[in-house]
Amino acid sequence: MTSNRVSATLSMSDRETVLTAIETIKQALPFLVSLSADERKTMPRAGDRGRGFMLNCCDAAQKYADCLPRSFDTAEMQKDLRLIEDLYPILIALRELNSLVDDTYFTAQSEAYVAALKVYDAVKSHDDLPGMKVTVDELKRQFVRRNKKESAESAAEGVSVA
């Protein structure tokens, strides 16, 4: 027996409300940056335990400013640490929301695919009905899974070399 975990619709109005809210969030955070995968790989990262280290180093920077290079900006370090603290609850809330949306999307997609497979099986079993063979053949072309080698070969065939 299949379970239907998601049975919902999203009105255009609600969808626009959500997208507008997301845009409002982006506008409220104009300093957000976008990093490429390569940029992320090259940047040092601190885990949750690094927070205490960073706070202690900031305290040390304030106490022993004369030991630091003149170019070191303690105020900027404090600003970054404050931003980390301020963004953290937003990050947690957005991660939770992202997880819920992602899981709901995945579930709805899975349920729709299971339903499509049932339709495909039913249509295949009745391909003797008038006009059904064309439908079965079309669905069969969409359903066929290609292995990586076949996909690469068919892609290569579609590319013309000048």
Q: What is the pLDDT of residues 53-91, one digit of tens each?
A: 999 999 999 999 999 999 999 999 999 999 999 999 999
Dist. CA 62–CA 65, nearest whole Å: 5
Helical ranges in the chain per DSSP H: 12-28, 37-42, 50-63, 74-124, 132-143, 148-158
Main-chain dihedrals φ then ψ at residue 6, nearest 5 degrees: -125, 120
Contacts by 86-94 with C-beta closer than 8 Å and gap 24+? none
d(CA 57, CA 97): 33
Task: For residue range 4-59, list pLDDT tens digits in order.
Answer: 899 999 999 999 999 999 999 999 999 999 999 999 999 998 987 898 999 999 99
Give the CA-trace dihedral at 104, 110, 111, 113, to 10 degrees. 140
pTM (2 d.p.): 0.75
Residue type, 148: K
Say what the pLDDT of residue 157 is: 58
42 Cα distance to chain centroid: 21
Distance CA 42, CA 34 (A): 14
pLDDT for 148: 58
pLDDT in tens, 88-130: 999 999 999 999 999 999 999 999 999 998 988 888 888 788 8
